[in-house]
Amino acid sequence: MTEKLSAAVARPTSQAAAVGSAVPSRPVGRIPALDVRPAVGDGDFPTKSVTGEALTITATVFREGHDAVNASIAITDPDGAVSYRPMTCTNPGLDTWVGTISADRPGMWSYRVEGWSDPYATWLHDAVIKVAADVDTEVMLEEGARLLERAVREVHHDGPARKTLRAAIAGLRDTGKEPGTRISAGTSAEVQQAMTTAPLRDWVSPGTSYDWWVERERALYGAWYEIFPRSEGAHFDEASGRWTTGTLRTAAQRLPAIAGMGFDVVYLTPVHPIGLTNRKGPNNTLTAGPEDPGSPYAIGSADGGHDAIHPDLGTFADFDAFVTAARGQGLEVALDLALQCSPDHPWVTEHPEWFTTRADGSIAYAENPPKKYQDIYPLNFDNDPQGIYAEVRRVVQVWIDHGVTIFRVDNPHTKPVEFWQWLISDVARDHPDIIWLAEAFTRPAMMAALAKVGFQQSYTYYAWRNEAHELREYVEELAHESASYMRPSFWPTTHDILTPYMQYGGPIAWKLRAALAATLSPTYGIYAGYELVEHVARPGAEEQIDNEKYEYKDRQWSRYEPGGDRDGQSLAPFLTRLNEIRGQHPALHWLRNITFHHVDDEQLLAFSKRAGDDVIIVVANTDPHSTRESTLRLNMGALGLSQHDGFVAHDLLTDATWHWGADNYVRLGPDTEPLHIVHLRRF
């Protein structure tokens, strides 16, 4: 495309200098393109998306006078090639322009909005009016012909478009025909299409360029399953009263069942040696018995630190075999990165400066009042940041070299943000496919900052958003305001979190919260045992009793399989169906495409997601204790339908079908199902 850059762009600088005014650091250009969104941190951080994800760009574009203005999005790919996408003014007179872009491969892209004068649109508007009124008719027709000649000469058009434009030029100058026929030659739909596809652009004014980091699909979409490897295959011998630990080899035997439920990622809690000093006993007690395994988050012993594997779990050969087995099942392996140490960690003696020493000479252990972690020393980055940076980078590389592609980072908000910015960026230089999930249940500003500096995903407040209005408000924030930098991961429970809603809601609550997590967010996860509705809390705490962090757990999975004595008591079939639905419906792979709909009952939540022709509607009763009836009022435009259209509503959970329209009766609760997941089928 030809860009006619005006020499006048340079004049404001010299003129400003002549009168002693401050020189603008960012000249607005002849056709200003301002208020570009998204612009994360005003452009300090890259906007995020994944391959194939639609990213909407908005800007305010205008000019002086009455000539037609237009706007384009200039996209620069990782190789430096520039392409353009058109924008549309959505509110004529108020100058808001909107366009959509997407990328076909990962890498660092950039985008900018360019305002420009549209001489063809200006002529089209004026010529139609003047020729109809027989004002300056011949002048207007000749000006049109000359504009189209410029277009043929200066802008690349394909063969059919060039033929169309040349025919229009001849038609405009054909004095043997009536003016109305001649003007029609230059204003036909074919000519307008050619001039829209490859426009003639004057006074092109590039706006600020914004970095756009495009990543692989798993950065946005996936289903996670968390395990403690030592529990998978663990067994308690009643006769001896002793536990046999699970290993990486026995944990690998669980992988077919995890993959069979449709999960994409198997997440391992720390696999490193565990310290003896201040080792925690069952339920976080301060005294551990000789058989108590301790918390895997108390990392480090004489057997090694973050770059070692607990001898009970096996060797690196066993870890490599686990990764190979996972890949064979279509699973990626995520590893917990917990940057903290047992008092027995080699770093404590080799680098005491990496920890905080109190006035009495002792090293401060970790606290998150009222929780205390006497078995853990947190790192202090102040005394030797360079040394800590280098060592953590080395440790991360060890696990990348052994097939880990995702890191779930424990409490990243207790480490400097600038450290994570450096680490994630440094790893990305050599391993751009690595994904980082921030376990940052903390203040919104810190969560946002961690996402902006590089974390691809973040845990969220989902576990504590239980009312319909709370979920709607929160997801609207995540899907719109925050979506350009933070990707949510929804977890109904974790090994640290068991909310009162989950303690007392019964199996209906567990089905509902898994289904909402799986449909509201492209990424969700569950902690092993979720399918067994492990809902009993430790007294006074919002976490499971007999917590797996401090002991082995043998869930005896075979008892829940067909033919077992607990067959039918597991949610595994329900979770499998959820993941099948997610896999079959691309509408559920995205975040920004959500629309909420009105339900008369305030306890019911309704939303839809649309990707092309695929439309999913979810209606959920957030009250797990009662059945509710109400009217669902759909925004038909968001579904790609007109207000009076009807459609077939196919419930993907129950296989029921109904004929739905704009207003529909719904009944949901314990005596039916807690929610509908509806696929819209046109008549």
Catalytic positions are: 410, 439
Euclidean distance between CA atoms 491 and 503, whole angstroms: 15
214's CB contacts (< 8 A; 6+ apart) are 48, 49, 50, 51, 103, 105, 106, 107, 108, 109
Torsion of CA 27, 28, 29, 35, to 10 degrees: 150
Q: Give me 442's structure tokens.
A: 């903390």
Whether 309 and 320 have beta carbons less than 8 Å apart is answered as: no
Q: Give me 138's structure tokens.
A: 């011949």
Q: Give me 311's structure tokens.
A: 């001898």
Cβ neighbours around 107 below 10 Å, total: 14
- Going through 184-274 in order, the beta strands assigned E by DSSP cover 201-206, 210-215, 222-227, 235-237, 242-244, 265-268
122's CB contacts (< 8 A; 6+ apart) are 67, 68
Q: Give me 235's structure tokens.
A: 């067994």
Q: Give me 270's structure tokens.
A: 């720390």
Whether 591 and 479 have beta carbons less than 8 Å apart is answered as: yes
End-to-end CA distance of the chain: 44
Euclidean distance between CA atoms 347 and 485, whole angstroms: 34
Cβ neighbours around 331 below 10 Å, total: 21
Torsion of CA 658, 659, 665, 666, to 10 degrees: 30
Using CA atoms, how far residue 317 sits from 249, 312, 321, 402, 632, in Å, is 10, 13, 6, 9, 56
What radius of gyration do the chain's Cα atoms show? 31
Using CA atoms, how far residue 203 sits from 328, 515, 614, in Å, is 56, 52, 41
Strand, coil or helix: 600: coil
